[in-house]
């Protein structure tokens, strides 16, 4: 437990607290409970997607199609709402989960059955998904007035002072923590990424595990798709463009090893939260929002350099004296 | 090729749990298993004996469902069965403890032991409490003092090994395969392992014990099966066999024929290494090497021999020390620098470090000599083929053509390509790290022959080997390393198996050594 | 087993003639596809077979192809650079800043190329000195480089480049042969020779197949990788010069998503995304294929985003189809 406190998670937690405190010294309004809840809620889609991405990266893959999946699923939800305004939100949620999972499964099948490198697959599906949105809409936007009220109100409705969007972040995180620690699939993902060769020996199907990872990532992207367009009450082709990079950034900052097999849900959540705090703090401290891209870029590089340093194996120590000296 | 079948029918009343019958497995260029058979009996340890390349690991992979045999049957309790996935082998109660500790760094000890078959709660989630309890039970049972909650990456080699054993015990195994289980263990740990094997025997499990250490085999096995070059040679009961018979079966000829005596014509000093140290891997290495000399480096696995050699050619940096080639001080910072200085290293790990398996033979051979076959950086294809042909022919390479990919060759021929590639740089010193590991007997003899020939031509050879007959048969002088230090330098009459092993394991008196 | 008695036996250099192995190759297949698209386009649109239209079509790929050549070597060596489009943005921004300070065309070009080189050096140093995986490093620098452009430009733009600067992206050497096309041909020949005829190229293949083995064989792996990142950065800088010159303005969103098209071009050209194999002729043909598809669809009034579906399908399809074919033949 103590070792855990010294870990990446503690360090990130510290960084977030320092960041928030620094902002608070000059702008106390930033740390009011209501603003903190707003920041958390705003970061919720990033957290949901980052959890999906982490699962994929754990199995030595990467999913660059998440933002496109989000946009496509979100658009389909919006179109369904336009066509059938009275359809309850529950149905829409199921549709978003199923459709997202289906899009993820396409990635997964190509990686599993055809053994195509994940980066190629998801670079491809990323453009294809976006293109399909255009085909569906001919480039038209779906605006707030075309969506029904309950459709857009749902993520913004508050429970115990926090919008449902924020609660979704918490629920997904809780499920993920339990699933990663307490299910065979969750543990298999660490095994597949950590040592695929050994995973085969222990009877784990590496390809199938990667397939499930893509399905989970897609499902969460689909969920975030509905929440996103309902929250902003607008859907168009380029929604969340480039967001996949922020998602990967959250994972890397959270200590997920791009080589697979290492990373925690808590770390990933903190990585997302770190980016969310930066994003929300910039306008408060009157720095142009144009800084955000460069900051997350720098954060990725620093984080990955840090990961490499801490992950660098200590070397096999043969000399007994050297061992004692340490 | 005499077959020896004393006893398996007459003395044992029990029937085998698991049998391999006429199993064949072919890979491009090699017949790894050629109609072999193997029987494993309840409550008995069967030793599978054979040299590297005899087909032992292929058998393990066949038994655990990693490889599918091309022909033959696997019989479980006399019934034919197929192990088409690792899972189906596990379901049949076959479990293996592997050569490398093939486990997962980022998972806890308990998770490593129970991955794939963890106890579940009524909600279908992994029951952590039950898992940790069972882990503690199993680890206690084998006398391991390991906390089930720590991550595997925080354990040492020996403890990892115990975790692997615990994993094998956690499934309800009927057949336990131990693939060189003592390779990385200390003497006390080996004794503990023996006790563990006795426990498993008492529980009626059939054990396949793979080793090429005779003391171990005679200490622990009830039966033996010998393979040579992928073929079944013989089987029987350990009680009815002499060590020399086993060697005869393994090698297929008398041992001393393998290493033909040759005339040593040793000249002036070529290489001088002084006070060579590394922060963690080795220290105080001092020796000199003369023209035409073969210097053997002996030691147990992990004694720091390869680490030293790789530092010598600039893969890692030493903390201090100096290297002189023909009296000239060298500052070697990379393998490229070592080649320039006239020192080349033929690595042990052929697939990873030696050959570029997806490139053709000729490109492999010329890779370290690109400057020699090019003009101002432009490749001269004719020159390239000429150089490749010259050295592959010297090594008696067998291949369809020079633009065949190296990966398609057998282990022995790959090793010839790898040696050819470094010889083509015309070195002064060649370091051969386990040069005959995993290659067939024929290629082995060719490599030994060739080594003698090179030395006779005035090349200085350093040979790192863990095989005592090879070390003694080939070397003019032997340096023994233990735990990163030089512990002995032997020549003449001191070069005998007993002295070698005594220094390598660090036992002062001769009494404790077999 | 004696060596002497075997010296007479000799192994042939090759079993298949080099010519024959060229005939049954990815490049040939691709060439067939290119010709097919060409024929289809000329039948589908009466405007296609016009010298000036065809010349215009080359602008669809020349800038991307410049980067793709260097990227091909980098991917063959087992690395990747996803920051190339961001390097274009930063180099273009740097040129804009230089222009505002009154720099003439030669200085602008030097600034563009120099920025590209610096960015490449930064990527290369992170990968070779710190040993970081290039895919993450360049996802990071992709945000960083473009982010710096955004910081400098915000939602503004640089305009008003000197008139002689437009030569690179809008000039013609003679008749319909554009400056960019000439640069493309020169670079194709340069990179083709570098990869296929030199020690350096051989080292690139060796590293891509087995970096450890290459290191043990005396290849200076880190140096080769560093040079490859520098070349990729430099080519992105050159593409920035051409693109800025052609557009006549700089926005921070310039060349967004171009890294994807460059990687697609390289993979379509038969380069193994995992490293170790590929050829420059393949990339050249792939450049034409992508240019022809884009241009043909453009003539048929298909919008750009729909073309990207084709690009995405092409990227997955070229890898998936041979594998599906192999699976189908097996069963």
Nearest to B483 among A198, A262, A319 (CB): A319
Question: From CA A15, how far away is CA A41, in angstroms rounded?
Answer: 20
Distance of residue B157 Cα from the nearest chain A Cα, in angstroms? 10
Q: Which pLDDT score is estimated for B10?
A: 40
Q: In what order do the strands lie in the sheet with B285-290?
A: B285-290, B269-277, B320-325, B328-330
Question: From CA B273, how far away is CA B128, in angstroms rounded?
Answer: 55
Q: Which pLDDT score is estimated for C226?
A: 97
Query: Which region among A115-129, A305-319, B78-92, C28-42 has the lowest average model confidence (pLDDT)?
Result: A305-319
Please check the confidence at residue A314 and state whether its pLDDT lies above 80.
no
Nearest to B282 among A190, A198, A319 (CB): A319
For residues A176 and B122, which has the higher predicted lDDT (pLDDT)?
A: A176
Please check the confidence at residue B461 and state whether its pLDDT lies above 90.
yes
The percent of residues in chain A predicted with pLDDT above 90, rounded, is 63
Q: Please answer yes or no on whether A130 and C305 come within 8 Å at the CB atom.
A: yes
Nearest to A237 among C136, C267, C305 (CB): C305
**C191 part of a folded domain:** yes
Categorize the per-residue pLDDT at B397 as very low, low, confident or very high, splitting at 50, 70 and 90. confident
Q: Which pLDDT score is estimated for C16?
A: 66
- Mode of pairing for the β-strands spanning B45-49 and B71-76: unpaired
Distance of residue A290 Cα from the nearest chain C Cα, in angstroms? 5
Cα torsion angle, C88, C90, C92, C94, sign: negative
Nearest to A301 among C126, C311, C320 (CB): C126
Residue A326 at interface with chain B, using a CB cutoff of 8 Å: no
Residue range(s) defining the domain that contains residue C269: 49-321
Question: From CA B425, how far away is CA B414, in angstroms rounded?
Answer: 18
* Inter-residue long-range contacts of C15-23, CB under 8 Å, 24+ positions, other chains counted: C15/B400, C15/B401, C15/B403, C15/B404
Cβ–Cβ under 8 Å, residues B310 and B332: no
Phi–psi pair at B449, nearest 5 degrees: -55, -45
Query: Which region among A260-274, B38-52, C87-101, C227-241 has the lowest average model confidence (pLDDT)?
Result: B38-52
The model's pLDDT over A242-253, given as tens digits with 9 standing for 90+, comes to 898 889 989 999
Please check the confidence at residue A211 and state whether its pLDDT lies above 90.
yes
Q: Write the CA distances from B389 to B365, B385, B486, C11, integer angstroms.
A: 9, 6, 40, 8
Please check the confidence at residue A38 and state whether its pLDDT lies above 50.
yes
Q: Which pLDDT score is estimated for C41?
A: 83
**C36 part of a folded domain:** no
Please check the confidence at residue A326 and state whether its pLDDT lies above 80.
no
Nearest to B280 among A181, A204, A317 (CB): A317
Q: Which of C311, C259, C260 is nearest to C86 (CA)?
A: C259
Please check the confidence at residue B4 and state whether its pLDDT lies above 80.
no
Q: Please answer yes or no on whether C147 and A295 come within 8 Å at the CB atom.
A: yes
Cα angle at C308 between C306 and C311, to 5 degrees? 125
Q: In what order do the strands lie in the sheet with B294-298?
A: B343-346, B429-433, B460-464, B294-298, B477-482, B485-491
Q: Which residue has the tokens 């893969």?
A: B315
Q: Number of folded domains in chain C?
A: 1
Three-state secondary structure string covering A80-115: HHHHCCCCCHHHHHHHHHHHHHHHHHHHHHHHHHCC
Q: Please answer yes or no on whether B125 and A183 come within 8 Å at the CB atom.
A: yes
**The two structure tokens encoding residue B478:** 């032997």
Q: Please answer yes or no on whether B393 and C14 come within 8 Å at the CB atom.
A: no
Average pLDDT over residues A22-37: 90
Residues of chain C in contact with residue A136, where contact means CB-CB under 8 angstroms, are none
Residue B405, strand partner residues: B360
Average pLDDT over residues A91-103: 97
Residues 128-157 of C with CB under 8 A from B: none
Average pLDDT over residues B358-381: 91
For residues C187 and B470, which has the higher predicted lDDT (pLDDT)?
A: C187
Distance of residue C229 Cα from the nearest chain B Cα, in angstroms? 20
Distance of residue A206 Cα from the nearest chain C Cα, in angstroms? 18
The model's pLDDT over A232-242, given as tens digits with 9 standing for 90+, comes to 999 998 899 88
Q: Please answer yes or no on whether B378 and C197 come within 8 Å at the CB atom.
A: yes
Categorize the per-residue pLDDT at A152 as very low, low, confident or very high, splitting at 50, 70 and 90. very high
Q: Which pLDDT score is estimated for C285?
A: 93
Tell me, what CATH number does C271's domain have? 1.10.3470
Nearest to A308 among C130, C146, C319 (CB): C130
Please check the confidence at residue A221 and state whether its pLDDT lies above 90.
yes
Q: Which residue has the tokens 């505002």?
A: C100
Question: From CA B441, how far away is CA B228, in angstroms rounded?
Answer: 9
Residue A201 at interface with chain B, using a CB cutoff of 8 Å: yes
The model's pLDDT over B398-453, given as tens digits with 9 standing for 90+, comes to 888 898 899 888 777 888 899 999 999 999 999 999 888 767 666 777 788 888 88
Q: Please answer yes or no on whether C217 and B399 come within 8 Å at the CB atom.
A: no
Q: Please answer yes or no on whether C312 and A126 come within 8 Å at the CB atom.
A: yes
Categorize the per-residue pLDDT at B50 as very low, low, confident or very high, splitting at 50, 70 and 90. confident
Using an 8 Å CB-CB cutoff, list residues of chain C that contact chain A. 80, 126, 130-133, 135-137, 139-148, 150-151, 153-155, 252, 260, 263-264, 267, 273-274, 303, 305-306, 308-309, 311-313, 315-316, 319-320, 323-324
SS3 B393: helix
Average pLDDT over residues A129-151: 91
Phi–psi pair at C73, nearest 5 degrees: -65, -40
The nearest alpha carbon in chain B to A324 belongs to: B280
Nearest to B126 among A183, A198, A322 (CB): A183
Write the DSSP assignment of A180-239 as a string of letters.
HHHSHHHHHHHHHHH-HHHHHHTT--HHHHHHHHHHHHHHHHHHHHHHHHHHHT-B-TTT
For residues B190 and C122, which has the higher predicted lDDT (pLDDT)?
A: C122
Q: Which pLDDT score is estimated for B2?
A: 42
Categorize the per-residue pLDDT at B5 as very low, low, confident or very high, splitting at 50, 70 and 90. very low
* C40 contact partners, CB below 8 Å, separation of at least 6: C296
Q: Please answer yes or no on whether C216 and B379 come within 8 Å at the CB atom.
A: no
- C-alpha A48: how far from chain center: 5
**C38 part of a folded domain:** no
Residues of chain A in contact with residue C126, where contact means CB-CB under 8 angstroms, are 301, 305
Q: Which pLDDT score is estimated for B161?
A: 76
Q: Please answer yes or no on whether C309 and A127 come within 8 Å at the CB atom.
A: yes
Q: Which pLDDT score is estimated for B99?
A: 53
Distance of residue A234 Cα from the nearest chain B Cα, in angstroms? 40
Q: Please answer yes or no on whether C202 and B378 come within 8 Å at the CB atom.
A: no
Residues of chain B in contact with residue C10, where contact means CB-CB under 8 angstroms, are 389, 393
**C41 part of a folded domain:** no
**The two structure tokens encoding residue C235:** 């080519």
**C22 part of a folded domain:** no
Q: Please answer yes or no on whether C199 and B374 come within 8 Å at the CB atom.
A: yes
CA-atom Rg of chain A in angstroms: 21
Q: Which of A90-94, B204-208, B240-244 has the highest mean pLDDT?
A: A90-94
How many CB pairs below 8 Å do chains A and C form together? 140
* CA-based max dimension of chain A: 76
Cβ–Cβ under 8 Å, residues B434 and B462: no
* A96 contact partners, CB below 8 Å, separation of at least 6: A73, A74, A77, A222, A223, A225, A226
* Residue of B259, B336, B339, B367 for testing the chain C interface, max C β-carbons within 10 Å: B367
**The two structure tokens encoding residue B306:** 């390869």
Q: Which residue segments constitute the domains of chain B, with CATH numbers given? A: 1-93+172-252 (3.40.50.300), 101-171 (no CATH), 257-342+427-505 (3.40.50.300), 356-425 (no CATH)
Please check the confidence at residue A206 and state whether its pLDDT lies above 90.
yes
Q: Write the CA distances from B352 to A268, B103, B266, B357, C116, integer angstroms.
A: 34, 20, 34, 9, 35
Question: From CA B302, how far away is CA B446, in angstroms rounded?
Answer: 28
Residues of chain C in contact with residue B357, where contact means CB-CB under 8 angstroms, are 209-210
* A211 contact partners, CB below 8 Å, separation of at least 6: A105, A108, A109, A111, A112
Residues of chain C in contact with residue B401, where contact means CB-CB under 8 angstroms, are 11-15
Q: Which of B208-217, B493-502, C84-93 has the highest mean pLDDT?
A: C84-93
Write the DSSP assignment of B173-232 as a string of letters.
-SEEEEESTTTT--HHHHHHHHHHHHHHHHTT-EEEEE---HHHHHHH-SEEEEEETTEE
Q: Which pLDDT score is estimated for C151?
A: 93
Q: Which pLDDT score is estimated for C169?
A: 85
Average pLDDT over residues B109-137: 87
For residues C327 and A69, which has the higher predicted lDDT (pLDDT)?
A: A69
**C30 part of a folded domain:** no
> What ipTM does this complex have?
0.83
Write the DSSP assignment of A109-162 as a string of letters.
HHHHHS---HHHHHHHHHHHHHHHHHHHHTT--B-GGGS-HHHHHGGG-EETTE
Residue A206 at interface with chain B, using a CB cutoff of 8 Å: no
Query: Which region among B50-64, B468-482, C90-104 has the lowest average model confidence (pLDDT)?
Result: B50-64
Question: From CA A318, how far away is CA A321, in angstroms rounded?
Answer: 9
**C297 part of a folded domain:** yes
Residue B242, CA atoms < 13 Å, CB-side half-sphere? 3
- Mode of pairing for the β-strands spanning B429-433 and B343-346: parallel
Please check the confidence at residue A7 and state whether its pLDDT lies above 70.
yes
* C152 contact partners, CB below 8 Å, separation of at least 6: C93, C97, C252
Please check the confidence at residue A281 and state whether its pLDDT lies above 80.
yes
**C198 part of a folded domain:** yes
SS3 A316: coil
Q: Which of B120, B102, B119 is nearest to B66 (CA)?
A: B102
Cβ–Cβ under 8 Å, residues B486 and B480: yes
Distance of residue C9 Cα from the nearest chain B Cα, in angstroms? 8
- C-alpha A259: how far from chain center: 18
Residues in chain C: 331
Residues of chain B in contact with residue C216, where contact means CB-CB under 8 angstroms, are 315, 335, 345, 347, 353-354
Q: Which pLDDT score is estimated for C52?
A: 85
Please check the confidence at residue B277 and state whether its pLDDT lies above 70.
yes
Q: Please answer yes or no on whether C143 and A304 come within 8 Å at the CB atom.
A: no
The nearest alpha carbon in chain B to A194 belongs to: B104
Residues of chain C in contact with residue A258, where contact means CB-CB under 8 angstroms, are 133, 135-136
pLDDT per residue of chain C (331 residues) written in tens, 0 to 9: 334 334 445 677 777 666 666 666 788 888 888 888 888 888 887 877 788 888 888 888 999 999 999 999 999 999 999 999 999 999 999 999 999 998 899 999 999 999 999 999 999 999 999 988 898 899 899 999 999 999 999 888 999 899 899 898 888 888 888 999 999 999 999 999 999 999 999 999 999 999 999 999 999 999 999 999 999 999 999 999 999 999 999 999 898 888 888 998 998 898 988 899 999 999 999 999 888 888 888 888 888 778 788 888 888 888 888 788 888 887 7
Question: From CA C230, how far away is CA C234, in angstroms rounded?
Answer: 6
Residues in chain B: 514
């Amino acid at each position: 437990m103590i070792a855990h406190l010294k870990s990446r998670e503690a360090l990130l937690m510290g960084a977030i607290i320092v960041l928030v405190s620094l902002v608070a010294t000059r702008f106390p309004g930033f740390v009011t409970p209501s603003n903190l809840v707003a920041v958390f809620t705003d970061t919720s889609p990033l957290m949901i997607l980052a959890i999906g991405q982490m699962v994929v990266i754990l199995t030595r893959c990467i999913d660059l199609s998440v933002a496109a999946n989000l946009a496509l699923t979100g658009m389909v939800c919006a179109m369904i709402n336009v066509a059938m305004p009275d359809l309850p939100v529950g149905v829409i949620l199921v549709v978003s989960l199923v459709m997202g999972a289906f899009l993820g499964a396409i990635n997964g099948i190509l990686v599993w059955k055809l053994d195509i490198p994940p980066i190629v697959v998801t670079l491809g599906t990323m453009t294809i998904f976006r293109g399909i949105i255009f085909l569906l809409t001919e480039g038209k936007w779906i605006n707030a007035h075309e969506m029904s009220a309950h459709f857009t109100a749902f993520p913004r409705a508050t429970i115990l002072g926090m919008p449902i969007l924020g609660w979704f972040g918490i629920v997904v995180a809780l499920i993920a923590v339990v699933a990663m620690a307490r299910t065979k699939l969750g543990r298999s993902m660490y095994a597949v990424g950590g040592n695929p060769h050994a995973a085969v020996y222990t009877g784990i199907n590496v390809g199938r595990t990667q397939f499930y990872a893509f399905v989970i990532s897609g499902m969460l992207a689909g969920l975030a798709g509905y929440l996103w367009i309902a929250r902003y009450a607008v859907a168009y082709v380029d929604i969340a463009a480039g967001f996949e990079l922020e998602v990967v950034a959250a994972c890397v900052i959270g200590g997920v090893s791009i080589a697979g097999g290492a990373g925690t849900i808590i770390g990933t959540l903190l990585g997302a939260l770190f980016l969310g705090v930066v994003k929300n703090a910039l306008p408060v401290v009157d720095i142009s929002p144009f800084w955000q891209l460069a900051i997350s870029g720098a954060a990725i590089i620093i984080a990955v350099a840090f990961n490499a340093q801490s992950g660098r194996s200590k070397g096999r120590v043969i000399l007994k004296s050297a061992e004692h000296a340490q | 090729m005499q077959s020896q079948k004393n006893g398996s029918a007459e003395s044992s009343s029990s029937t085998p749990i698991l049998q391999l019958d006429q199993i064949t497995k072919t890979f491009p260029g090699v017949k790894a298993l050629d109609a072999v058979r193997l029987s494993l009996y309840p409550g008995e340890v069967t030793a599978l004996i054979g040299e590297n390349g005899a087909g032992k690991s292929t058998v393990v992979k066949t038994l655990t469902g990693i490889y599918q045999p091309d022909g033959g049957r696997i019989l479980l309790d006399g019934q034919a069965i197929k192990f088409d996935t690792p899972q189906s082998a596990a379901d049949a109660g076959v479990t293996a403890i592997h050569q490398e500790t093939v486990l997962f760094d980022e998972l806890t000890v308990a998770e490593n032991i129970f991955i794939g078959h963890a106890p579940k709660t009524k909600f279908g989630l992994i029951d952590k409490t039950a898992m940790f309890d069972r882990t503690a039970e199993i680890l206690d049972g084998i006398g391991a003092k390991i906390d089930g909650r720590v991550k595997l990456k925080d354990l040492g080699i020996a403890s990892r090994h115990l975790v692997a054993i615990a994993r094998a015990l956690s499934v309800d195994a009927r057949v336990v395969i131990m693939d060189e289980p003592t390779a990385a263990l200390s003497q006390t740990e080996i004794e503990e392992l023996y006790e563990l094997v006795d426990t498993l025997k008492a529980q009626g499990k059939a054990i396949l014990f793979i080793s090429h250490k005779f003391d171990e085999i005679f200490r622990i096995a009830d039966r033996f099966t010998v393979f040579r070059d992928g073929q079944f040679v013989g089987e029987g009961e350990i009680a009815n066999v002499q060590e020399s018979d086993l060697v005869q079966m393994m090698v297929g000829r008398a041992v001393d024929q393998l290493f033909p005596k040759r005339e040593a014509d040793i000249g002036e000093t070529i290489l001088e290494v002084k006070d060579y140290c590394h922060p963690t891997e080795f220290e105080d290495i001092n020796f000199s090497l003369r023209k035409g000399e073969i210097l053997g480096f002996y030691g147990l696995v992990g004694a720091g021999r390869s680490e030293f050699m790789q530092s010598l050619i600039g893969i890692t940096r030493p903390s201090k020390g100096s290297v002189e080639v023909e009296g000239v001080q060298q500052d070697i910072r990379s393998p490229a620098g070592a080649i320039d200085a006239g020192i080349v290293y033929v690595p042990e790990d052929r697939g990873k470090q030696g050959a570029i398996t997806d490139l053709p033979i000729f490109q492999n051979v010329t890779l370290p000599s690109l400057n020699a076959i090019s003009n101002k950086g432009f490749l001269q294809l004719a020159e390239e083929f000429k150089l490749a042909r010259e050295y592959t022919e010297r090594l008696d390479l067998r291949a369809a053509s020079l633009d065949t990919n190296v990966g398609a060759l057998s282990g022995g021929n790959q090793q010839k390509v790898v040696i050819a590639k470094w010889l083509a740089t015309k070195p002064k010193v060649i370091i051969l790290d386990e040069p005959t590991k995993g290659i067939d007997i024929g290629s082995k003899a060719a490599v030994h022959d060739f080594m003698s020939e090179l030395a006779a031509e005035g090349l200085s050879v350093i040979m790192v080997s863990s095989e005592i007959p090879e070390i003694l048969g080939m070397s003019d002088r032997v340096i023994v390393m233990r735990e990163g230090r030089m512990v002995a330098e032997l020549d003449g009459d001191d070069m005998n198996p007993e002295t070698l092993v005594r220094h390598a394991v660090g036992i002062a008196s001769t009494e404790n050594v077999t | 087993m004696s060596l002497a008695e075997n010296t007479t036996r000799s192994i042939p250099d090759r079993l298949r003639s080099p010519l024959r192995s060229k005939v049954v190759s990815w490049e040939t297949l691709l060439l067939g596809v290119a010709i097919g698209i060409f024929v289809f386009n000329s039948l589908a649109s009466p405007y296609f077979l016009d010298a000036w239209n065809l010349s215009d079509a080359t602008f669809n790929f020349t800038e991307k192809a410049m980067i793709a050549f260097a990227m091909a070597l980098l991917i063959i060596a087992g690395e990747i650079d996803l920051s190339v489009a961001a390097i274009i943005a930063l180099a273009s921004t740097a040129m804009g800043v230089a222009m505002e300070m009154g720099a003439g065309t030669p200085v602008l070009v030097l600034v563009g190329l120099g920025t590209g080189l610096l960015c490449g050096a930064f990527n290369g140093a992170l990968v070779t000195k710190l040993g970081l995986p290039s895919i993450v490093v360049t996802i990071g620098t992709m945000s960083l480089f473009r982010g710096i452009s955004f910081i400098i430009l915000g939602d503004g733009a640089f305009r008003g480049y000197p008139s002689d600067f437009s030569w690179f992206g809008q000039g013609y050497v003679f008749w319909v042969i554009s400056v960019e096309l000439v640069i493309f041909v020169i670079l194709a020949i340069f990179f083709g020779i570098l990869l296929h005829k030199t020690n350096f190229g051989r080292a690139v293949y060796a590293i891509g197949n087995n970096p450890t083995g290459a290191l043990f064989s005396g290849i200076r792996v880190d140096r080769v990788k560093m040079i490859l990142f520098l070349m990729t950065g430099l080519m992105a800088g050159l593409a920035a010069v051409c693109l800025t010159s052609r557009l006549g303005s700089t926005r921070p969103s310039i060349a967004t998503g171009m890294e994807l098209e460059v990687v697609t071009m390289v993979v379509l050209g038969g380069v193994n995304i995992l490293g170790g194999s590929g050829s420059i002729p393949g990339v050249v043909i792939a450049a034409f294929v992508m240019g022809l598809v884009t241009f043909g669809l453009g003539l048929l009034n298909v919008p750009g985003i729909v073309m990207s579906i084709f690009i995405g399908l092409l990227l997955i399809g070229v890898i998936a189809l041979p594998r599906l074919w192999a699976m189908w033949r097996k069963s």
